[in-house]
């Protein structure tokens, strides 16, 4: 599990879903069934939800994108600096 720190007064909410075409809905169902079966996700009891859209890949398949813009507005930003890749490499 992963915990997201929310700013004071912020509350994750359920946001209206975007309209999807029937082929997109079918792709979404197949994707969710697949990652559920693999154990990557589990069924949620959360009341929060964010809309999804599909963006076409170069190979013609669809890439699933979750629109977290509303969530991003209420999360506490982690200001911990990440080390530079060159520093990490030098530590090896």
What is residue 74's predicted lDDT score, i.e. its pLDDT? 94
Query: Which residue range forms the structural domain that includes residue 43?
Result: 22-91
Over the stretch 36-75, which tens digit does the pLDDT of each residue have?
A: 999 999 998 888 999 999 999 999 988 999 999 999 999 9
Judge whether 61 lies within some domain: yes
The domain total for the chain is 1
Q: CA 49 from chain center: how many Å?
A: 10
Judge whether 53 lies within some domain: yes
Distance, CA of 61 to CA of 75 (rounded, Å) = 32
Judge whether 5 lies within some domain: no
Task: Compute the chain's Rg from CA coordinates.
Answer: 18
Judge whether 15 lies within some domain: no
Between the alpha carbon of residue 6 and those of residues 1, 13, 57, 73, 77, the distances in Å are 16, 12, 33, 9, 9
Specify whether the CB–CB gap between 60 and 25 falls below 8 A.
no
Distance, CA of 73 to CA of 71 (rounded, Å) = 5
Specify whether the CB–CB gap between 22 and 35 falls below 8 A.
no
What is residue 31's predicted lDDT score, i.e. its pLDDT? 94
| pTM, rounded to two decimals | 0.71
Residue 54 CB neighbours (<10 A):
19
- What is the pLDDT confidence band of residue 78, given thresholds at 50, 70 and 90? confident
Judge whether 33 lies within some domain: yes
What is residue 29's predicted lDDT score, i.e. its pLDDT? 95
Res 79 pLDDT > 90? no
């Amino acid at each position: 599990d992963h915990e997201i720190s929310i700013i004071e007064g912020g509350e994750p909410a359920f946001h209206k879903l975007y309209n999807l075409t029937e082929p997109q809905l079918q792709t979404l169902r197949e994707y969710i069934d697949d990652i559920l079966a693999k154990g990557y996700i589990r069924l949620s009891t959360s009341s929060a939800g964010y809309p999804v859209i599909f963006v076409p890949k170069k190979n013609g398949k669809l890439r699933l994108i979750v629109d977290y813009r509303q969530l991003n507005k209420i999360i506490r930003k982690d200001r911990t600096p990440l080390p530079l890749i060159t520093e990490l490499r030098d530590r090896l």
